[in-house]
């Protein structure tokens, strides 16, 4: 009888424990389900979910979770004078829209934004004093060092952020940028101007045989293409980048995988200066007259080629870390 009572008590204890564990597990599942349902509802309205400090702690930091969160911590208010935050916000929205309307979309990943003026306590808890910052909060555990995007090295273009998201979550996002018709309109305007000029000059088309005009036109196209203008048209990079740590403006992208619009203008001018130097050297060889003028023209042309080619090589070295060769400038 004593053994039977002990066995009965043990069985009752086991049943109570199983019941308690079941209730806890069910409560946990209900909590996750409520979170996912609420986030999905917000995500259906806007691809980027805007949160304050309380929502951030409840939906992003507090367990349990079965989804990952990509959070952009920014300062978009004009009073904060964060010029780069607006550009980063545009790229982040492109990334979030690409995920929201992709065929692989699911509730495994959400894109969230926290503005400093709406959640200063979030910045304090994460010990952040700069913006923008992109962080990945995994479904389980705490963020690691690699879960913070190194925008100083790779930039914040949507394509670069998508590659970083793929590394952290194993979710590949194909970027879809909104169509930009400015290039098409500019091309149509150019052809209209050319057509109008040919119509007005229909009785005098000798300028079509001018080699200098054709040469300048060909060089313009070459400079535009070699400087990366087509890449800009496809990717839509920012004009420039301000370093959030020291506020210094950066015109050259630090990675070989990206570039700024201002960078392409700099490369275009450097290429043009090198070509002008070669033209001077060629003219000095064929020019008739005072040998002193020919010598000066040749030296100026040689100086242009050497100096501006050195600048080009220096830009190349800054983008391809470890390149061993340099000339005049490092």
Q: Contact 306/314 with Cβ under 8 angstroms?
A: no
Q: Confidence class of residue 216 from pLDDT cuts 50, 70 and 90?
A: confident
- Asked which of 24-38, 87-101, 188-202, 242-256 is least confident by mean pLDDT, the reply is 24-38
**Which whole number is the average pLDDT over 230-251?**
75
Q: Confidence class of residue 30 from pLDDT cuts 50, 70 and 90?
A: very low
Domain tally, the chain: 2
Asked if the structure places residue 162 within a domain, the reply is yes
Asked if the structure places residue 27 within a domain, the reply is no
Mean pLDDT of the chain: 82
**Which whole number is the average pLDDT over 33-44?**
89
Asked if the structure places residue 107 within a domain, the reply is yes
Structural domain span for residue 239: 210-319
Instruction: Tell me: pLDDT of 11 over 60.
Output: no
119 and 67 both lie in a single domain: yes
| Res 147: pLDDT | 92
pLDDT (tens digit per residue) in 87-136: 889 999 999 999 998 888 988 999 999 999 998 999 999 988 888 999 99
Asked if the structure places residue 197 within a domain, the reply is no
217 and 158 both lie in a single domain: no
165 and 214 both lie in a single domain: no
| Res 19: pLDDT | 46
| Res 22: pLDDT | 43
| Res 319: pLDDT | 80
| Res 23: pLDDT | 45
Asked if the structure places residue 39 within a domain, the reply is yes
Asked if the structure places residue 44 within a domain, the reply is yes
Nearest to 313 by CA among 296, 290, 289, 330: 330
- Asked which of 26-30, 70-74, 160-164, 209-213 is least confident by mean pLDDT, the reply is 26-30
- Asked which of 27-31, 182-186, 224-228 is least confident by mean pLDDT, the reply is 27-31
pLDDT (tens digit per residue) in 261-271: 888 888 999 99
pLDDT (tens digit per residue) in 163-207: 999 999 989 999 888 776 777 788 888 888 888 877 776 677 676
**Which whole number is the average pLDDT over 214-231?**
85
Can you give the CATH number for the domain in which 55 is found?
Answer: 3.40.30.10
3-state SS string over the chain? CHHHHHHHHHHHHHHHHHHHHHHHHHHHHHHHHHHHHHHHHHHHHCCEEECCHHHHHHHHHCCCCCCEEEEEEECCCHHHCCHHHHHHHHHHHHHHHHHHCCCCCCCCEEEEEEECCCCHHHHHHCCCCCCCEEEEECCCCCCCHHHECCHHHHCCCHHHHHHHHHHHHCCCCCCCCCCCCHHHHHHHHHHHHHHHHHHHCCCCCHHHHCHHHHHHHHHHHHHHHHHCHHHHHHHCCCCCEECCCCCCEECCCCCCCCCCHHHHHHHHHHHHHHHHHHHHHHHHHHCCCCHHHHHHHHHHHHHHHHHHHHHHHHHHHHHCCCCCCCECEC
Asked if the structure places residue 188 within a domain, the reply is no
Asked if the structure places residue 308 within a domain, the reply is yes
């Amino acid at each position: 009888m004593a053994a039977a009572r002990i066995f009965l008590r043990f069985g009752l204890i086991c049943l109570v424990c199983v019941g308690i564990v079941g209730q806890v597990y069910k409560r946990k599942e209900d909590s996750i389900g409520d979170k996912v349902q609420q986030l999905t509802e917000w995500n259906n309205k806007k691809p980027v979910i805007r949160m304050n400090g309380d929502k951030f702690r409840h939906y992003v930091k507090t367990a349990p979770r079965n989804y990952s969160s990509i959070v952009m911590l920014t300062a978009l208010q004009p009073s904060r004078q964060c010029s780069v935050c607006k550009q980063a916000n545009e790229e982040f929205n492109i990334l979030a829209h690409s995920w929201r309307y992709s065929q692989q979309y699911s509730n495994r990943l959400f894109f969230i934004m926290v503005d400093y003026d709406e959640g200063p306590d979030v910045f304090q808890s994460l010990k952040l004093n700069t913006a923008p910052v992109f962080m990945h909060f995994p479904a389980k555990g705490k963020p690691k060092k690699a879960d913070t995007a190194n925008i100083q090295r790779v930039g914040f273009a949507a394509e670069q952020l998508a590659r970083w998201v793929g590394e952290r979550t194993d979710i590949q996002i194909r970027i879809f940028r909104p169509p930009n018709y400015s290039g098409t309109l500019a091309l149509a305007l150019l052809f209209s101007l050319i057509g109008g000029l040919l119509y007005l000059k229909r009785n005098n088309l000798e300028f079509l045989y001018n080699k200098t005009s054709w040469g300048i036109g060909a060089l313009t196209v070459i400079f535009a293409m070699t400087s990366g203008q087509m890449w800009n048209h496809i990717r839509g990079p920012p004009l420039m980048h301000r370093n959030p740590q020291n506020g210094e403006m950066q015109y050259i992208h630090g990675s070989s995988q990206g570039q700024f619009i201002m960078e392409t203008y700099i490369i275009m001018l450097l290429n043009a200066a090198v070509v002008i130097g070669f033209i001077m050297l060629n003219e000095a060889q064929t020019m008739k007259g005072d040998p002193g003028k020919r010598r000066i023209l040749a030296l100026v042309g040689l100086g242009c080629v050497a100096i501006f080619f050195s600048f080009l090589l220096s830009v190349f070295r800054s983008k391809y870390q470890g390149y061993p060769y340099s000339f005049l400038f490092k």
